[in-house]
Structure 1
Amino acid sequence: MKKIIYEQYGSVDVLHSVYMNKPIPNTNQILVKVKAVSINPIDWKIVMGEVKLMSGRKFPKSIGCDFSGTIESIGQNIQNFTVGDDVFGVINPFKEGALAEYVIVNEKQLAKKPDYLSFAQAAALPTVGLTALQALNTSGKSIKGKEILINGASGGVGMLAIQIAKSQGAIVTAVSSVKGHHLLKKWGSDFIIDYNKEDVAKINKQFDVIIELSAKLSFRQAKKIMKPESNYISVTPSLWNFVHSFSNNIISKKKYKILLMQSDTNSLNELANNILKGADIYISKTYPMSDFKEAYNSIIKHGALGKVVFSIPF
């Protein structure tokens, strides 16, 4: 089979394709023939060595975490899936990689693909959908009627955070460049800000929840537009962010939270069958797997609206 790997940290140029034997599942594993893999920012953050504390220094490594496909074989202890099931899931990007013709997974990393989702849509969902859902559920309280700011809202997490928040009755202010405004409107945003024309940190408004997806609105800046009891949620894990959030949360009711998305079969099922049924899952571009360097270089340089997906095989 073909798989994309890298043997040192660096730019996208360290990625390369290799041939290797198709893996064989053990008694507790599942072999999936991959049909689609989506791109997430964590992919290149790991490749570029930005999160070495979590990814470590053992090579070779592979890339990609969200995938969909069809089960080709299973171990004898597998009970909830059978050969031929269409599935989708997410694997630990710090330890594994999905950008390959086949992946080995365990049952907890999978859910059955609903018929209403294409393979591309299913591959686009896990990381961004669960991140959005868990960010909105961080406080453990209802968000109905709450003012929510989503900064960097035209990407995958923003796409689903807007739609989930609106379905739960929140008032959403979405921030992006003007090129994404038509999508922010389509997804249901109540208010839209063009960050090229307006400094979001200086607007005359305060929020119950700020979801920071662009890494451009720091907690220090965001505090000025947070209500006295509110949550700032970052999806960017770093040692400094963890230290800062810990020290702040001891003394302040303006909470600084770092989200580390958690996934299992139940949460994937909830996401696909309840939370996002009927939602708009916008895929702005699909690349063949062979164009992996072009795809990553393009999205790093220019960004992307919604999600970008690889189709498998080459």
Structure 2
Amino acid sequence: MKKLIYSKFGGPEVLQIAEVPIPTVQETTVLIKVKAVAINPLDWKIRNGEMKLMSGSKFPKGIGIDFSGVVEEVGTATTKYNKGDEVFGILDVFKGGALSEYISVEEKDIAIKPQNISFEQAAAMPVVGAAALQIFNTLVRLKKGDEILINGASGGIGMFATQIAKTKGAVVTTVVGDSGIQAVKDWGADFVVNYQNEDILKGNKQYDIVIDLSGKMPFSEAKIIMKHSSAYIHTAPGPKEIVVSFFINLFSSKKYKLLMLKPSPEYMAELTGYAEQGMAIVVSRVYPFYSFNKAYTEVPKGKFIGKAVITMGDLV
């Protein structure tokens, strides 16, 4: 079978297609024929070598974390799934390897794909959806009426965070560019700030929670629009942020929270429920497998709404 791998850290040019054996099904694993794989910033952060402490430096490495597909074979000790089931799921965040014709996963790492969404939409859910849920279920305790600012809200995490925050009764302000205005309105944002015309940091409003998804609003700037007791969420922390946040949290009532993604079966179940209830899952870019280089060159530049995915159809 074909699998996308890389044997050294670097840009998209290090990616290559390898011929490898189809994984052998173990007693407790499920073999999935992959249909679609989401593209996430973690993909290129790990590939570039920015997260060696977590990912290690052993090669070759696979790429791709969340996926959708069809069950091809099940282990003798598995009980939840059968051949032909349509599923979606998530691999180890720092090991990846979903961009492959077949993958072998544990039962706990997959869930039945909601019938009302496509394989592309299902693949787009686990990483960004789990991130949004972890913010509101673990990092902060969201209360009805809380004022939330989501900076860079038109991407994947913003898509889920905006909608989930609204279901919990929050008042949501989103910061986006021209192209994202209609999307965040569709997702339920109460207020929309166009950063191309307005500097949110110069406004008079203060927030209970500030979530920076753009990487362009550090805590040192965000704190001027945060209430006395509030929280700032950093969604892509490195070693520096871990140290800085520790000392800030010792002395400040304005807390600096770090999202260290930890997917769980509970999050998968919760995301399934949201999808079945009609939550918007926007996949605005779809690349065929053999266009992987183009995909990993274009997507890091942003400028699109929701998620981008790679489909495996051209491997048939």
| Structure 1 contact 68–88 (Cα < 8 Å) conserved | yes
Provide the aligned C-alpha RMSD in A: 1.4
| Structure 1 contact 107–265 (Cα < 8 Å) conserved | no
Secondary structure at the aligned position of 1:97 is classed as coil
Q: Which residue of 1 aligns with 2:91?
A: 91
Offset of 1:187 from its aligned partner? 0.9
Q: What one-letter code is carried by the residue in structure 1 that aligns with 2:44?
A: W
Task: Measure, in 1, the Cα distance between the counterparts of 2:39 and 2:260.
Answer: 17
TM-score by length of 1: 0.96
Secondary structure at the aligned position of 1:137 is classed as helix
Q: Map 1:220-259 onto structure 2 (within 5 A).
A: 220-259=220-259
* Residue 315 of structure 2 is aligned to residue 312 of structure 1: no
| Structure 1 contact 146–171 (Cα < 8 Å) conserved | yes
Moved over 6 A (4+): none
Deviation digits for residues 272-301 of structure 1 (CA, Å, limit 9, x no counterpart): 114762111111111111100101111122
Identity over aligned pairs, percent: 47
Q: Which residue of 2 aligns with 1:177?
A: 177
Task: Measure, in 2, the Cα distance between the counterparts of 1:266 and 1:162.
Answer: 20
Q: Which residue of 2 aligns with 1:199?
A: 199
Q: Map 1:2-151 onto structure 2 (within 5 A).
A: 2-139=2-139, 141-151=141-151
| Structure 2 contact 63–95 (Cα < 8 Å) conserved | no
| Structure 1 contact 3–20 (Cα < 8 Å) conserved | yes
Q: What one-letter code is carried by the residue in structure 1 that aligns with 2:148?
A: I
TM-score by length of 2: 0.96
Q: Give ranges in structure 2 of 5+ residues lacking alignment.
A: none
* Residue 218 of structure 2 is aligned to residue 218 of structure 1: yes
Q: Which residue of 2 aligns with 1:168?
A: 168
- From the superposition, tell whether residues 49 and 307 of structure 1 become closer, same or farther in structure 2 (CA, over 3 Å): same
Q: What one-letter code is carried by the residue in structure 2 that aligns with 1:3?
A: K
Q: What one-letter code is carried by the residue in structure 1 that aligns with 2:202?
A: K
Task: Measure, in 1, the Cα distance between the counterparts of 2:95 and 2:23.
Answer: 16
- From the superposition, tell whether residues 191 and 140 of structure 1 become closer, same or farther in structure 2 (CA, over 3 Å): closer
Offset of 1:237 from its aligned partner? 2.2
Q: Number of residues paired by the alignment?
A: 314
Task: Measure, in 2, the Cα distance between the counterparts of 1:196 and 1:276.
Answer: 35
| Structure 1 contact 71–87 (Cα < 8 Å) conserved | yes
Offset of 1:85 from its aligned partner? 1.4
Task: Measure, in 2, the Cα distance between the counterparts of 1:190 and 1:302.
Answer: 24
Deviation digits for residues 136-164 of structure 1 (CA, Å, limit 9, x no counterpart): 23355343101000011010110111111
Of 238-247 and 137-146, deviating more is 137-146
Of 61-70 and 129-138, deviating more is 129-138
Q: What one-letter code is carried by the residue in structure 2 that aligns with 1:98?
A: A
